[in-house]
Structure 1
Amino acid sequence: MLTLGEDHSGRIRSSSSRSRPRKLRIHGYKIPDLNADPCLDMDREETEEVVGFKPQDADYLQNVPQLVYELEVEILARVPRFEYWKLKFLSKQFSRLLKSGEIFKVRRERGLAEPSVFMLSSGDTRWTMFDKDFENCQKLPELPSDICFFGGDKESLCAGTHLIVIGKEEKSIALWRYELETNKWFKGPGMITPRILFASATCGTVVFVAGGLRIDENRSMEVVNSVEKYDSETKTWTLLHGMHKRRKFCSGCYLRGKFYVLGGRDENDQNLTCGERYDEGTDTWELIPDIFKDMYFSSAQSPPLIAVVNEELYSLETSANELRVYDANANAWKKLGDVPVRAKSNGGWGVAFKSLGDKLLVIGASSGLSRTETMSVYTCRPSADPDDKLDWEESKRCCGVRLNHFILNCCVMIA
């Protein structure tokens, strides 16, 4: 936790072992509590103002030694990311360093990246970002799209430090991206084949997208098999080799170095029990027959709820509120136990089922006796052995935020 000392005048102080302590003078502003929980509304311009407070550069003497740039980045990369909002108030230089993206690059290279959960629930107009333990949160700025985009279904995915949200605006399919470095929304760049209801999977700073429903300017719709990849560092889309099957309402994951696309419906609206996996090294797809041969399907079914933890593929079987793990050797799913949310009541819609580091994350309406209408958050460290007991842990604090239990969009960013 970042803490700041005060002298007898109530001003923030900083010190150096090689110079006398020097007071930091901030004129005309009320200093916020930098050790309070950062459940903030950071919807501001470059100044990042909060309650009339602007970031200030410290009023140091010129002979105070400065850190070498590379060392400064290495140190700041090791600060927990949800503490960065505090550092923005101390120095404009830190804000500029944050926007450069160098800190996040070092975090990835040193294995310091942390998962964050981005979520939009029913009735909420703004996204909320939570840390991995759901102890800190931050409201994102308002996404500046039209009413058609807000009211319609949307797809969300993460690549590097970008949260990407795709949906239908009044005239076309639109893509908006939120950049963690700047805390701002930007429009584009659009996909090569704009689409909705597709499968996606993240691998570091890139995300793969496959299948879905293409809607052209004449509002004609087509189920596609096209595949492309987004690189968050170059902000570009690259066309990849297409799948064997056209499919919409499908799901994706990245498992053991390959991009998997599972389930969905074909151009005739028939349920697909097969899957496919993509090898980027050879730019080829391999069909996986009958991977969902034992799964229950209904006309109101959500796309398959799947997640990867420790290179094992898990699914939430919504018809039974049951967790399963995939056995590749037998091409079958093994039952592991119950999941503590009501996934069955809406055919899987409104439930978030994600990997969160070495844990599974599930969010929705609790299946317990309380049956509250606010979201319930559970995590567990799963085992692929059916004989091992599932130990679901509820995150009861959730920063005091009470969101609707019906989750419209949810994705995890590693940064």
Structure 2
Amino acid sequence: MCFSNLVQQDSNPTSKSGSILISKVVNHCHSPILPGLPDDVSKYCLALVPRSHFPVMGAVCKQWRSFIKSKEFFTVRKLAGLLEEWLYVLTVDAEGKESRWEVLDCFGHKHRQLRPMPGPAKAGFGVVVLNGKLMVIAGYAVADGTGSVSPDLYQYDSCLNSWSKLASMNVARYDFACAEVNGMIYVVGGRGTDGESLSCAEVYDSDTDKWTVIESLRRPRWGCFAYNIEGKLYVMGGRSSFTIGNSRFVDVYTPENQTWCQMKNGCVMVTAHAVLGNKLFCMEWKNERKLAIFNPLDNSWKMVTVPVTGSLSVGFRFGVLNGKLLLFSLQEDAGYYTLLYDPNADPGSEWQTSEIKPSGLCLCTVTIKA
């Protein structure tokens, strides 16, 4: 394109000055990432740089910044075994007024506090990790006493420490279920702009930056959550306008067939959930001193008692780090330690305490490898 535009500007393409200018522009358009090296080698070299230097590298030139933002950069670091696992925690102060994202490593060291999320503060939004990036989806906001429901999608690039706005959903919603499955983001149900229960669903493709409507649920559902196990989308918990109370039905979506089916033995009134390996860990409002562990291989549930050690709290938020489950108390206790559950530990030693602790009360967490 650079070459064709230049030819149109120079009516005599054989002139000496025109040839020189063409040469410079063509070379600029095809300039190597690192002079003297093939691009594939250059990309590997950039991926080897310590993660803390990525924001500075992104300011060197557009070419470097574009590569660091790309899915390819994530893939190169993954193949090189360089991905680092950090826990991103959304915390709120004791008064419940100000929230912020902070980043913790496996030792509980705080690495940084994220820049504030764009737009007004929201409730009922969803969070998903896609290609090493934090995605914050939709939600309900109140500005100047007026409430509004958002269809917005924001992306936080952990390598460049920056937020960007992506394509908006087809339907604005809050209190919905969302999860990543096979490199795509699925959003299901929730409440609409008038507070109505929704059954519609859609999927986001990061390659095209586009949302596509998929088959709806059989019934509306809100306050639910979603998770991915072995390439299938499971939607559990919440409420349905066609049932009194809470639904035990689990809606299961298979992307290959683009169809929904149902199971009948789900959890209800779930206050926290996380996936470890191929198992789902839940905590129900009616029994917050036990973990409910779901195994999709045989559709079975197992209950594990949460010890009193570490905190007398009966309310927790979950985090996942290095294949272990972290339980963050929802109460401020002076002598509080984070509880840690290791599903692969020897019987009797699954529970421990951890020094990992956010600076405020935990609202939600995501684990990002980048």
Q: Structure 1 length normalisation: TM-score?
A: 0.66
Query: What corresponds to 2:343 in structure 1?
Result: 382
Superposition pairs of residues 53-132 of structure 1, within 5 angstroms:
66-79=36-49, 81-82=51-52, 84-85=54-55, 92=61, 94-95=64-65, 97-100=67-70, 102-109=72-79, 112-123=82-93, 124-132=98-106
The yes-or-no answer on 1:206 pairing with 2:177 is no
In the TM superposition, residue 283 of structure 1 has moved relative to its aligned partner by 0.8
1:27-78 Cα shifts (integer Å, max 9, x gaps): xxxxxxxxxxxxxxxxxxxxxxxxxxxxxxxxxxxxx975433223223334
Identity of aligned residues (%): 23
Gaps in structure 1 of 5+ consecutive residues: 1-63, 296-300
1:229-264 Cα shifts (integer Å, max 9, x gaps): 222332221222222232111111101221111111
CA distance in 1, matches of 2:108, 2:48: 20
1:336 is paired with a residue of what secondary structure? strand
The yes-or-no answer on 1:166 pairing with 2:141 is no
Change (3 A) 1:103 1:337: same
In the TM superposition, residue 344 of structure 1 has moved relative to its aligned partner by 6.2
The yes-or-no answer on 1:141 pairing with 2:115 is yes
CA distance in 2, matches of 1:380, 1:290: 24
Change (3 A) 1:173 1:366: closer
1:313 is paired with a residue of what secondary structure? strand
CA distance in 1, matches of 2:365, 2:156: 16
Residues 149 and 192 of structure 2 are in contact (CA less than 8 Å); yes or no, is this contact kept in structure 1?
no
CA distance in 2, matches of 1:104, 1:130: 20
CA distance in 1, matches of 2:213, 2:345: 35
CA distance in 1, matches of 2:343, 2:87: 19
Decide which of 254, 263, 268 is 1:279's aligned counterpart.
254
In the TM superposition, residue 280 of structure 1 has moved relative to its aligned partner by 0.6
Superposition pairs of residues 281-300 of structure 1, within 5 angstroms:
281-292=256-267
Residues 87 and 319 of structure 2 are in contact (CA less than 8 Å); yes or no, is this contact kept in structure 1?
no
Residues 199 and 251 of structure 1 are in contact (CA less than 8 Å); yes or no, is this contact kept in structure 2?
yes
Query: What corresponds to 1:221 in structure 2?
Result: 195
CA distance in 1, matches of 2:206, 2:44: 22
Residues 124 and 176 of structure 2 are in contact (CA less than 8 Å); yes or no, is this contact kept in structure 1?
no
Decide which of 334, 339, 349 is 2:302's aligned counterpart.
334
Query: What corresponds to 2:327 in structure 1?
Result: 362
> Which deviates more, 153-162 or 224-233?
153-162
Query: What corresponds to 2:364 in structure 1?
Result: 409
Decide which of 161, 173, 176 is 1:195's aligned counterpart.
173
Decide which of 346, 351, 356 is 1:391's aligned counterpart.
351
Query: What corresponds to 1:353 in structure 2?
Result: 318
1:89-141 Cα shifts (integer Å, max 9, x gaps): 8x557556424554223234556444332222123343223345433422222
**More strand per residue:** 2
CA distance in 1, matches of 2:200, 2:264: 20
**More helix per residue:** 2
CA distance in 2, matches of 1:222, 1:343: 38
Aligned residue-pair number: 322
CA distance in 2, matches of 1:287, 1:337: 29
CA RMSD of aligned residues (A): 3.4
Superposition pairs of residues 232-243 of structure 1, within 5 angstroms:
232-243=206-217
Residues 282 and 293 of structure 2 are in contact (CA less than 8 Å); yes or no, is this contact kept in structure 1?
yes
Residues 227 and 242 of structure 1 are in contact (CA less than 8 Å); yes or no, is this contact kept in structure 2?
yes
The yes-or-no answer on 1:257 pairing with 2:222 is no
* Matched letter for residue 356 of structure 1: L
CA distance in 1, matches of 2:79, 2:211: 23
In the TM superposition, residue 86 of structure 1 has moved relative to its aligned partner by 6.4
Gaps in structure 2 of 5+ consecutive residues: 1-33, 142-146
Query: What corresponds to 1:177 in structure 2?
Result: 154
